[in-house]
Amino acid sequence: MPTKVYLSSAGRPVDPEDAKISVFDRGFLYGDSVYETLRTAGGRFVEMGRHLARLRRSAEGLGLEIGFDDEAIRAAAGETCAASGEVDCYVRVIVTRGAGELALDPRQAGAPLLVIIAKALRVPSAAEYERGIAAMIVDVRKVSRRSLDPTLKTGNYLNSIQALRQATGAAADDAIMLSLDGAVAEGATSNVFVVAQGRLRTPCLQTGLLSGITRTTVLELAAELGIAAEEATIWPEEARAAEEVFLSSSVRGLMPVTRLDGVVVGDGGMGPITRRLHERYAAYVAAIAAGRGRA
């Protein structure tokens, strides 16, 4: 099934080869943009409301006027998914500050540009979830909230790219990044959970990380299942000694980390608490697909 791209400049979804933006677009030049990645299940968006709220918070943090209301973005995303012909879509919503003079000053920008990419969703197979991934706690740190605030989801992902380069260069699948203080913050494109001494724990937002939509859902589902969860400061030693570690994100869901820094985590497979949450999360996505959940 084809990938489709909506551009507000075109006003409709087009084929990728026809999706052209200006080389003066500030998203291209400076990463001066905000974005969200989400999925559909059975043709319905998963948590679009929360993704749009975060998109607006990120834009506010950059002083970027989005210029499209939520209904317009939902409609354009719906149209793009429909044009792709997929019921389970990977959806990326991007708003750039637009094109303008070749100058940093955002006052020189023109109108914002909305881009939506919809393509076939590829989720890990059951065997891939069972196997889990190898993660590495990398040297590349999150930046301070006084720099490019890591709680904003902007188009500037070079920090995560550098982290991922280090991890994959060392034959790991994914990177876990620390805060400037050395506390566990998050993955390159995911949040981190650990089960330590039987307790489910995730780095608190004060650590300086993206408030993941899936992270929030996992905390809600854990409460439903009666699994006590804590948002806390987690040091690398705690993560390395944990019985279970997993990463959460909108596209991958809950992915077990079965090797951390080259050492097997727990018994090397999906741990029991991760499994309960993974299965509950799958049921939550299935409910949305069936029209019973929050879309």
Q: What is the 3-state secondary structure (H, E, C) of 25-40?
A: EHHHHHCCEEEEEEEE
- Closest to ligand PLP by CB, 118 vs 213, is 213
**Nearest distance from residue 34's CB to ligand PLP, in Å?**
12
**Nearest distance from residue 2's CB to ligand PLP, in Å?**
24
Q: Is 250 in the site for ligand PLP (CB under 6 A)?
A: yes
Stretch that binds ligand PLP, among 99-107, 195-203, 208-216, 236-244 (CB under 6 A): 208-216
Stretch that binds ligand PLP, among 59-67, 95-103, 244-252, 283-291 (CB under 6 A): 244-252
Torsion of CA 35, 86, 276, 129, to 10 degrees: -90
Q: Is 33 in the site for ligand PLP (CB under 6 A)?
A: no
Q: Is 249 in the site for ligand PLP (CB under 6 A)?
A: yes
- Which phi-psi region, left, alpha or beta, contains residue 141 (left: φ > 0; alpha: ψ -120 to 50)? beta
Q: Among candidates 245, 134, 239, which has minimal Cα distance to 182?
A: 239
Binding mask 152-181 for ligand PLP (x = CB under 6 A): --------x---------------------
**Nearest distance from residue 231's CB to ligand PLP, in Å?**
14
Q: Which of 34, 41, 183, 210 binds ligand PLP (CB under 6 A)?
A: 210
Q: Pick out residues in 187-206 that bind ligand PLP (CB under 6 A).
A: 189-191
Assigned token pair, 287: 């409910």
**Nearest distance from residue 160's CB to ligand PLP, in Å?**
6
Q: What is the largest CA-CA distance in the chain?
A: 57
What's the rounded Cα separation, in Å, for the pair 288 and 247? 21
Total binding residues toward ligand PLP, as defined by CB under 6 A: 14
Q: Sheet containing 89-96: which strands, arranged edge to edge?
A: 12-14, 4-7, 113-120, 89-96, 33-41, 44-45
**Nearest distance from residue 211's CB to ligand PLP, in Å?**
8
What's the rounded Cα separation, in Å, for the pair 253 and 195? 17
Q: Which of 186, 193, 242, 253 binds ligand PLP (CB under 6 A)?
A: 186
Q: Which of 214, 222, 244, 253 binds ligand PLP (CB under 6 A)?
A: 214
Stretch that binds ligand PLP, among 25-33, 68-76, 108-116, 212-220 (CB under 6 A): 212-220
- List contacts with ligand PLP (CB under 6 A): 37, 160, 186, 189-191, 210, 212-215, 248-250
